[in-house]
Amino acid sequence: MQLHNFDIDRFLRDYWQKKPLLIRNPWAAWTNPLAPDELAGLACEEDVESRLIERTGDNWALDHGPFAAERFSTLGDTPWTLLVQAVDHHVPDVAALIDPFRFVPNWRIDDVMVSYASDQGGVGPHFDQYDVFLLQGLGKRRWRVGPLCDETSILLPHDDLRLLATFEASDEWVLEPGDILYVPPGYAHDGIAVGDDCMTYSIGFRAPSQSELIEGWCDHLVDTIQCDDRYADPDLHVQDNPGEISPDALARLHGMMTQKLLDAQGFARWFGEYNSSRKYAEADWRPEDPVQPDDLREQLAKGAVILRNPASRFSFIRGSGDAVILFADGQSFDCCGQTATFARQICAQDHVLASPDLANEPPCLTLIAALIDQGSIAIEED
């Protein structure tokens, strides 16, 4: 899939994380990739995160899945919305919707949430902390966009939903199949279905918060620091006042803290592992038995197709020369030569036609076997 008549450079310069943008049907021929019944079927599965929101007047109710199939036949005329997370992990045609938006780095991409709403259904006026492209798949939805919000914005009292207490729209559009609305972080927005069979695909992006990064990095450091790495002052001198914490002592203590915190290389490896950790671990591709080197070598020699688990997260960081550190599902792998070439390929593509030369490269065999054994990739059987 490809966006037509869409200036990516202009979008990134003028709109990305700056202001909303309506993109009228930019597809050569839009086709809705998922039927409503298929979405309802996913919402009935144990390993799929789903929610059902019903509105009666000013009252909002939220239930979490999995749902019994008969639940959807009992909803009646009350406006309701079904939301299913990470549908791209289960439906290849939905995963393909991400490809046109890969001008944003893969490490920033979260997942594709799909919603189905009855007439007048919606999730209420709210704001998100991340960028989102709202792609209308089926039916119509009226979107209203309001001002920027933050943690001081007043919310309605509700245990489960973060709905704005007041909402005043500055722009309003009705989206039809194929239309896209981009909403930057913090902008208030509210979508209401116009008629039944309203399906919207939300391509969402991740944005780690400062507190999350500090907590994760510090927890990692605490786990790796040796317990006997303690303060020492072999050059201690008698002080005028023993009650003082001297400037020298403070400088030494501060150095103990910052030495680890400012380790740029250590942070880079930690972040790659942290960021590539799976959000949903249920899509388990791990084989029952570890892959056998001889079998793998034979498959690669034939030019096997290597498939990436859609639930897995891959990224890499450049090292010196042609070396890279590959990150996959929370693990890191140091790669160079042909192994680094393969690592860059599997980060960029969801399937790779393996060069037969890889069969004769022990480091490549080791890497591919490790990725298969941890369920991040698989060899296409046919």
Is residue 74 within 8 Å of residue 63, measured between CB atoms? no
**How high is the pLDDT of residue 382?**
64
Domains of the chain: 8-205 (2.60.120.650), 210-233+247-262 (no CATH), 293-379 (3.40.366.30)
Query: Directed axis angle between helix 293-301 and helix 362-373, to 10°?
Result: 110
pLDDT digits (tens, 9 = 90+) for 82-132: 999 999 999 999 999 999 999 999 999 999 999 999 999 999 999 999 999
Confidence tier at 158 by pLDDT (50, 70, 90): confident
Count of residues in the chain: 382
In single-letter form, the type of residue at position 290 comes to P
- The residues pairing with 138 across neighbouring beta strands, listed in sequence order, are 199
Read off the pLDDT of residues 77-87 as tens digits, 9 standing for 90 and up: 899 999 999 99
In the predicted structure, residue 303 carries a pLDDT above the cut 90: no
Share of the chain above pLDDT 70, in %: 100
pLDDT tier at 178 (50, 70, 90 boundaries)?
A: very high
pLDDT digits (tens, 9 = 90+) for 134-143: 999 999 999 9
pLDDT, one tens digit per residue, over 316-346 is 999 989 999 999 999 999 999 999 999 999 9
Q: What is the mean pLDDT of the chain?
A: 93
227-286: per-residue pLDDT in tens? 778 889 999 999 999 999 999 999 999 998 898 899 999 999 999 999 999 988 777 899
pLDDT digits (tens, 9 = 90+) for 188-212: 999 999 999 999 999 999 999 999 9
Q: How confident is the model at residue 57 (pLDDT cuts 50, 70, 90)?
A: confident
